[in-house]
Amino acid sequence: MYTTTVSDLLQTDLLNQKITVCGWVRSFRSNRFIALNDGSTIKTIQCVVDYESFDEAVLNKINIGASICVTGTLVESQGQGQSVEIQVEGIEILGEANPDEVKLTILSPKRHSLETLREQAHLRIRTNTFGAVMRVRSKLAFAIHKYFNEKGFFYMNSPIITGSDAEGAGEMFTVSSFDSKNPPLTKDGAIDFSKDFFGKETHLTVSGQLEAETYAMGLGKVYTFGPTFRAENSNTSRHLAEFWMVEPEVAFYDLDDTMDLAEDFIKYILTYALEQCDDDLEFLENRLLQEDKNKPEAEHSTMKLREKLQFVVNNKFVRISYTEAIEILKKSKPNQKKRFKYLIDDWGVDLQSEHERYLVEKHFKSPVILFDYPAKIKAFYMRLNDDGKTVRAMDVLFPGIGEIVGGSQREERYDVLLDKMRAMHVDEKELYWYLDLRKFGTVVHSGFGLGFERMVQFATGMSNIRDVIPYPRTPGNAEY
């Protein structure tokens, strides 16, 4: 059976031709008008039924949530809201949906909160909101691969199970084949990981960066795009325990090159989303406008969704040092009038989202790249500057979200890297291979990491990061 999609039908010139389309029933009015959606677009196609020509038993099964296959002739629509419709000649019921059970799920027509939708995550993709979000997510993922392929990067798959902690943060999930109730112990009473599956203690990765650096040393320009994990007990709208990271690494790039790359990359993928996802972005934009009506005016969005994306695409990113940013923030009205939750007093503090957003939305009115951060608040692998107190690190800051990209020039000097690892208590024996890169043809190299869900959250306007990944993994939640 050859079928077409709703998306194709709404853009087609196949008028007065017989077509077949399958999908799920969104509504069935007056035993005559079926609104059919197949996920290919946020829109439905109207299927017009001459109910006198169909068995009543078949019509009774056309309920919200049911899957059907419709055959008929595509004609110009007589009603408003659509250009074409299907004059139905045949209907096949593929899967029934009991209307009494549908009323108990998010498939019912009434409006549901995002929290309710999360509780039925296996069904929420059928809603307009999540259909739109996940189509945008898919297009963004494709754009990422497209961009790097066009720029001559090679895609590499970094390991998900690892013995190293790339960030030195220690917040990792342990991977083990032991019986959790009765693991083998050493004489000291500690778990004896030498008897585990891998013969050592292993974890789920927090980043593919270190492994990507090894491949950049042979292939020049590489990127990873895969799942990463953090065992942080953070119940916020910005954190997940399992999320996807995009991490390019480039040999012979310094920090300026990497800032150029990050800006160009971000503008490319957002432009792609604007070009390819207009219907979904329009829906999500209108959704945000409706949400604003129920909020105090002070909490209203300053820009419409697509305007916000264009703001990033069309503005050159302002680049300032961390030191310059601290001076701006110290003198700012929110700081002087103690409106910041975290007041800026001294150089060396880690900036919070409120500070980052002030710089972007109030001070510069442009995306911002901060660089040259204090060494003490950054990871061991970042290149130490000549001042001995800052490192060649950079963060890209966006409106409404704050930091979206973090990157750095990597420390390519063996002795300096070794000293930093020892000072930060990073296991040099475990990372012997990382040190080896500095012994065999070391080069200046740089890269960055972009949390994919943060980008999807920005592009769709969703307020909670749990709503931009199919099945969110958060503290206390690992269903599905």
Q: Which residue has the tokens 């001070």?
A: 363
Say whether pTM exceeds 0.75.
yes
233-259 tens-digit pLDDT: 888 888 899 999 999 999 999 999 999
Please report the beta strands in 62-181, taking only residues with DSSP state E, as ranges in sequence order. Answer: 67-76, 84-95, 154-155, 161-162, 174-175
Domain spans, the chain: 6-105, 128-171+206-467
Cα 325 to its chain centre, rounded Å, is 27
412: burial class by Cβ within 10 Å (0-12, 13-18, 19+)?
Answer: middle
Question: What pLDDT is stored for residue 170 in this prediction?
Answer: 62
162-176 tens-digit pLDDT: 988 777 666 899 999
CATH number of 128-171+206-467: 3.30.930.10
133: tokens are 């979000």
Check residue 298 and give its pLDDT. Answer: 75
Question: What pLDDT is attached to residue 358?
Answer: 96
Pick the CATH number of 6-105 from 2.40.50.140, 3.30.70.20, 3.40.50.720, 3.20.10.10: 2.40.50.140
- d(C-alpha 152, C-alpha 263), whole Å: 17
What is residue 107's predicted lDDT score, i.e. its pLDDT? Answer: 94
Q: Under DSSP, is residue 134 helix (H, G, I), strand (E, B) or coil?
A: helix
For CA atoms 187, 188, 189, 193, give the dihedral sign: negative
Mean pLDDT by 10 residues, the chain (480 residues): 87 89 96 96 96 93 97 90 92 96 93 92 96 98 98 97 77 94 94 95 95 98 97 87 97 98 98 98 96 83 92 96 98 96 95 95 96 96 97 95 95 97 92 96 98 97 96 93
Of all helices (H) and strands (E), which one includes residue 247?
A: strand 242-251
Rounded to the nearest 10 degrees, the angle between the axes of helix 452-460 and helix 278-292 is 70
Q: How many CB atoms lie within 10 A of CB 414?
A: 14
